[in-house]
Structure 1
Amino acid sequence: MTDPTVPTDPTALPAGAGRLRQNEIYTQGIHGRRPRVPTDHAELERRARRVMSDRAWAYIAGGAGEGSTMAANRAALDRWAIVPRVLRDVSSRSTGIELFGQQLPAPVLFSPVGAGALAAHAADVHIGHAAAELGVPYIFSNQGSAPMETVAAEMDRVRSGAPRWFQLYWSTDDDLVDSLLARAEGMGANAVAVTLDTTMLGWRPQDLNLGSLPFARGEGIDQYTSDPRFTEIVAQRVRAAVGGEKPEISVGAIKTLFSIARNAPGSLMKNLTAPEPRVAVQTFLDIYSRPSLNWDDIAGLRDRTTLPIVLKGVLHPDDARRAVDVGVDGIIVSNHGGRQVDGAIGSIDALAAIAPAVDGRIKVLVDSGIHTGADVFKAIALGADAACIGRPHMYGLALAGADGARDVVANIIAELDLTLGLAGYTSIADVDRDALQRV
């Protein structure tokens, strides 16, 4: 899986990394070899749709309601134009940044995407491999398709100490929250990103029209079925349910049972007859997220973990100020890729208002609708410290596994480097709003 155009130094990309990658692709073209994944988002999306199942496409590519928030994310980016400056020496450039004490080669992270196995088996392991090759962080999904320890081991195999974060969905069971946090610390997480905007699922017609919720089939609950506290809760429920109501039997239910059995730890045959896998699914659906989550919970999180705390899903300047006041280390400006509230503000519009309110007191990241290196440049210019890439790397994963996920993000970083130089800048630290004009 090693790509000669991928840097081996985790602290910096070589000067001209964008040109190196560009030239490598053209050199391969001399031999009639085209890139494994398209280098533009539109074609990447089209090809991924052809290879993904209807269920996978609905869950990963779909949005809330009529999809207007997804459209707003792109429209917000289009409202800002880059204004290149010329006759500046840009022969030597750096895309490196510092984030929570770590030197990173680019201001880019792999976003968490739940139920990734819809796109590829053991998706999280492949994504971790891809991120480790590039030396940029992967935010492990709390709703992942592999235990966090397994993903961390694969990342360390590729690059010792490869950066990784953990996304936390705050369960209704406090002991489970503590268990997940302890595991995140144990597997070497560099931060915990608490998702705030999914205390309940948004209205997602693409999934609803198929009657498809991956978690109900045991897809994307591996962090839970590998957790000692969660398995303890399941065992308690199994004991309490002995002699209880029998489930309805149908062809669909039998298919779902096979899916649950395949995704649960242990042998398929045992899982088909044992109650634990089915009870685990229902337990997850009951307790995975807490609608009552509030600022008091966040204020107490510092006593529960030593990790830097990042709040994911902030869209209002007042909430960003409150995050500063409660003492967290960072926020991710995000509308969950347009998957939660239809008609919500675009993340870049939110960033433009939030960054001045935070004024550098904590780290500010952004996701939702970020597809290209130029998009990342705009986000940095508007005050973000880094940008998170979601759907694009999942499309690359669907097309070419770990190599595809890596290449998609490597292309974004390469375009960022070229955009940096062509806009007249040599360092990410120098890019500010003067680089943009509102259209």
Structure 2
Amino acid sequence: MSQSPGPGRERQSQIYRDGVVGDRPAAPTHAAGLEEAAESAMSRRAWAYVAGGAGEGRTMRNNREAFDRWAIVPRMLTGAADRDLSRTVLGTRLPAPFALAPVGAGQLVHRDADLVTARAAAATGIPYVFTNQGGTPLEETAAAMGATPHWMQLYWSTDEGLVDSLIGRAEAAGAKALVVTLDTTVLGWRPQDLDLGSLPFARGQGIGQYTSDEHFMGLVDERVAAAAKGEPAERPKVIPSAIRSLLSIARHHPGRLRDNLRTPRPRAAVETFLETYSNPRLSWDHIATLRDRTTLPVVLKGILHPDDARRALDLGVDGIVVSNHGGRQVDSSIASLDALVRVRDAVGPDATVLMDSGIRTGADVFVALALGADAVLLGRPYMYGMAVAGQRGVEEVIANVVAELDLTMALAGVADLASITRDVLVER
């Protein structure tokens, strides 16, 4: 009986076979080349939003430098010819130990970014955490996933009725877990966006979960009605940039463009979103209410301090994501990988701990697992793949990460994920 070569060798072989007839990968297989190709393919606004970080970018550098401080120590002749990359996390089976992270305002990169991501996830079997800041209603994105599992991100609104509505929709659409993002109660200082005066949500991009929500649109109608009874609203200046923004708002609002240009609802929806989408007063008391508001496993994303990790688990939260939001919120924040080590030591081996921020390659996934992550979330790289080659680009990025992880395990002498422990690393 012939042995399976594993996803790493299969991916390599496919690329080399295609190369014989002159067909090369659509998405570069090395992280730096992928990033360069994506920058060339994206608009300035898209690149600023997706690739940009907080302040001087120190947290983004911290994330990468943390990975550079660890080295893998391969072991020989261990018989790791057959490898198992699968893992079950909170009842969700992962064919490889990662899922696609929620990335907001993907419409900057592709008009149907959420659907493109969902279709790529379904084609590869990799679960996807739907973004709360998507352009496509979660029900449509769930349909595109087919049988592949998905989780749902939640930004905690200032309107509690909207929180319940979004949770209910996530449950009805078959989400397997609820991922509450904690670290964006206000937006961080993001110079790349600020220098362009660019906030996608203000142009109607990335608010599709809201404009498809009955409760939210009720708030919008209340706003429109109140405005009609009050003083006439100040008309925006008729300049090209203002016209482009109004067209963008109308184009991304449900319904026909012509109709949307004749009604105040699209602009009112944007204004309502900007006022309600995230709650600066979010507290542990809010989190404690979730056990009575959903039957889904609850995961808190944005944990960096061991005491916060302990408190989350004491409240009955099912899992945590160690994350600094890809370096987009606090400049000079601790690297997620460094925080992961401290958090895992604090909560012990049995707690469910995921990690994101700084993950670019299969080797990065290996290191994160060795330092205590049960799985990781992959963010920017798949968006870069989308920018370069649409759905095919996302699929290739996923396949490349899986392949490199598989080959790293083979060459390090590790046959399964449970064997990826700190003993396989040394600190430089």
TM-score (ref. length: structure 2) = 0.97
2:385 is the alignment partner of 1:399: no
Separation (CA, whole Å) in 2 of partners of 1:81 and 1:47: 28
Residue type at the aligned position of 1:347: S
Counterpart in the other structure of 1:408 = 397
Partner of 2:212: 226
**Are residues 1:314 and 2:278 paired?**
no
Q: In structure 2, the residue corresponding to 1:46 is in which secondary structure? A: helix
How far apart, in 1, do the equivalents of 2:398 and 2:340 lie? 22
1:28-107 to 2 correspondence within 5 Å?
A: 28-107=18-97
Q: Contact conserved, 1:110 with 1:389, CA < 8 A, in 2?
A: yes
How many Å separate the matches in 1 of 2:297 and 2:350? 14
**Structure 2: unaligned runs, 5 residues or longer:** none
Instruction: Kindly indicate whether residue 370 of structure 2 is the aligned counterpart of residue 374 of structure 1.
Output: no
| Whole-angstrom CA distance in 1 between matches of 2:392 and 2:356 | 22
Alignment match of 1:250 (pick from 234, 238, 261): 238
Q: Distance in 2 between matches of 1:46 and 1:361?
A: 40
Cα deviation, residue 15, structure 1:
5.3
SS at match of 1:17: helix
Correspondence 1:351-390 to 2 at 5 A: 351-390=340-379
- 1:247 deviates by 3.0
For 2:203, give the aligned amino acid. R
Q: Cα distance, 1:422 vs. partner?
A: 0.7
Q: Distance in 2 between matches of 1:211 and 1:178?
A: 33
Q: Which amino acid aligns with 1:418?
A: L
Q: Give the 3-state SS of the residue equivalent to 1:19 in structure 2.
A: helix
Contact 1:15 1:94 in 2 (8 A): no
Aligned equivalents of 1:248, 1:266: Cα separation in 2? 23
Q: In structure 1, what is the equivalent of residue 283 of structure 2?
A: 294
Structure 2 letter corresponding to 1:184: A
Larger mean Cα displacement after TM superposition, 338-347 or 251-260: 251-260
Letter of the 2:379 partner, please give it: G
Q: CA RMSD in A?
A: 1.1
- What per-residue deviation string (whole Å, max 9, x for no partner) do you get for residues 4-34 of structure 1? xxxxxxxxxx651111111110111111110
Task: Specify the alignment match of 1:6 in structure 2.
Answer: none
The answer for the alignment partner of 1:3 in structure 2 is none
Q: Which of 155, 161, 175 is the equivalent residue of 1:169?
A: 155
Q: List aligned pairs for 1:4-43, cutoff 5 A.
A: 16-43=6-33
Superposition deviation, residue 213 in structure 1: 0.3
User: Alignment partner of 1:193: what SS?
Assistant: strand
Q: Report the equivalent of 1:205.
A: 191
Identity of aligned residues (%): 59
1:331 aligns with 2:320: yes
Specify the SS of the correspondent of 2:301: strand
Which residues of structure 1 form unaligned runs of 5+? 1-13
Instruction: Report the 3-state secondary structure (helix = DSSP H, G, I; strand = E; otherwise coil) of the residue aligned with 2:354.
Output: strand
Question: In the aligned structure 2, how far is the partner of 1:372 from the partner of 1:122?
Answer: 25
Equivalent pairs, count: 423
CA shift at 1:250, angstroms?
3.0
Query: Matches of 2:153 and 2:93 in 1, distance apart?
Result: 21
Contact 1:321 1:358 (8 Å CA) reproduced: yes
Is 1:278 the equivalent of 2:264? Answer: no
Match of 1:237 among 203, 223, 236: 223
Q: Secondary structure at the match of 2:349?
A: coil
Specify the code of the residue in structure 1 equivalent to 2:287.
Answer: I
State how far apart, in whole Å, the 2-side matches of 1:151 and 1:258 are.
Answer: 25
Partner residue in 2 for 1:143: 133
AA aligned opposite 1:246: E
Distance in 1 of aligned mates of 2:270 and 2:185: 18
| 1:278-331, Cα deviation, whole Å (9 max, x unpaired) | 000000000000011111111111110111000000001110111110010100
Q: Which runs of 4+ in 1 moved over 6 A?
A: none
* Counterpart contact for 1:15–1:93, Cα < 8 Å: no
Deviations 1:236-281 (A, max 9, x none): 1100011433233231222211010000000101111200000000
User: Who is 1:11 aligned against?
Assistant: none
Report SS of the residue matched to 2:353. strand
